């Protein structure tokens, strides 16, 4: 039996370059971040924001600046190092805090943040219902959980990734199909079912066709108003 391909370090080191505005995949990835903030409900007293799986900090430039502290977390020290290079002023001013955290088991107290952001994270994590419970635990009642997900393995998503991301990965010598199979462990159809079942106050949107059909869209955006 052949060994697994090695890709993690090469993927991390080339992450920003391969997801920049100059690539097709980067353009649409940025669009998902913009849409998440465009559709965010108006809530008061959002002072502390926690982002899980933040990577190198792609989402931060799009967040509405009404907070006093932004805790940017990731499980990879390499990704956090990239974020540290991108936001030195915000970090020195105390606006951003960088922390290594496991998104499935956070060290924060119950009800300790006002908003949690997870962009392109939940599809990577095993036992997603347990993860949603953990995220709900750290957000105060009346707070917000904001999630962006790829519509994988929807038809449009599978078609789109062949137009740029797969080709760019192959240039780096990465086995893109293996990477996607190993990383995207949760199908969008299942995740949407979980979201709708477990959260009562949920607003949803889809891109680009708006109709709630995973096969015809690239991204699913949702905001949860937390209760208990």
Is the model's pLDDT at 19 over the cut of 80? no
Instruction: Residue 209: name the closest of 154, 147, 146 by CA.
Output: 154
Q: Largest Cα–Cα distance of the chain, in whole Å? A: 56
pLDDT in the model for residue 214:
96
Q: What is the mean pLDDT of the chain?
A: 90
Confidence of residue 22 (pLDDT cuts 50, 70, 90): low
Query: With DSSP H G I counted as helix, E B as strand and the rest as coil, what are the percentages for the chain, rounded to 5?
Result: 40, 20, 40
Helices 188-198 and 128-138 pack at an angle, to 10 degrees, of: 40
The pLDDT confidence band at residue 171, using thresholds 50, 70 and 90, is confident
* pLDDT given for residue 7 in this prediction: 61
Do the Cβ atoms of 185 and 126 come closer than 8 Å? yes
> Regarding predicted confidence, which is higher, 5 or 29?
29
pLDDT tens per residue, range 131-166: 999 999 999 999 999 999 999 999 999 888 877 777
3 state DSSP class of 204 = strand
Per the CB < 8 A criterion, the answer to whether 110 and 138 are in contact is yes
pLDDT tens across 77-121, in order? 999 999 999 999 999 999 999 999 999 999 999 999 999 999 999
Give the separation between CA 133 and CA 143, rounded to whole angstroms.
14
Residue-level pLDDT at 79: 92
Distance of alpha carbon 116 from alpha carbon 38, whole angstroms: 16
Q: What per-residue confidence (pLDDT) applies to 180?
A: 84
How far apart, in whole angstroms, are the C-alpha atoms of residue 75 and residue 80?
Answer: 8
| Average pLDDT of the segment spanning 155-178 | 81
Q: How many angstroms separate the CA atoms of 144 and 108, rounded?
A: 16
Q: How far apart are CA 214 and CA 221, in angstroms?
A: 12
- Digit-coded pLDDT (tens) for 50-73: 999 999 999 999 998 789 999 999
Rounded to whole angstroms, how far apart are CA atoms 92 and 87?
A: 9
Alpha-carbon distance values, 163 to 124, 156, 168 (Å): 22, 11, 9
Predicted pLDDT of residue 193:
98
């Amino acid at each position: 039996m052949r060994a697994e391909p090695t890709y993690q370090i090469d993927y991390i080191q080339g992450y920003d370059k391969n997801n920049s505005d100059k690539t097709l995949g980067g353009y649409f990835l940025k669009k998902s971040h913009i849409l998440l903030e465009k559709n965010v409900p108006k809530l008061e007293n959002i002072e502390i924001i926690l982002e899980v799986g933040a990577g190198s900090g792609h989402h931060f430039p799009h967040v509405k600046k009404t907070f006093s502290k932004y805790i940017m977390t990731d499980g990879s020290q390499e990704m956090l190092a990239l974020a540290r290079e991108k936001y030195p002023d915000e970090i020195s001013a105390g606006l951003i805090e960088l922390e290594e955290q496991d998104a499935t088991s956070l060290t924060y107290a119950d009800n300790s943040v006002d908003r949690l952001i997870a962009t392109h994270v939940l599809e990577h994590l095993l036992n997603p219902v347990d993860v949603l419970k953990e995220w709900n635990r750290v957000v105060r009642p009346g707070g917000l959980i904001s999630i962006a997900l790829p519509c994988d393995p929807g038809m449009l998503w599978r078609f789109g990734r062949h137009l740029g991301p797969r080709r760019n990965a192959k240039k780096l010598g990465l086995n893109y199909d293996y990477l996607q199979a190993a990383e995207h462990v949760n199908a969008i159809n299942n995740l949407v079912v979980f979201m709708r079942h477990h959260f009562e106050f949920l607003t949803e949107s889809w891109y680009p066709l708006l109709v709630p059909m995973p096969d015809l869209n690239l991204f699913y955006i949702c905001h949860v108003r937390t209760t208990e």
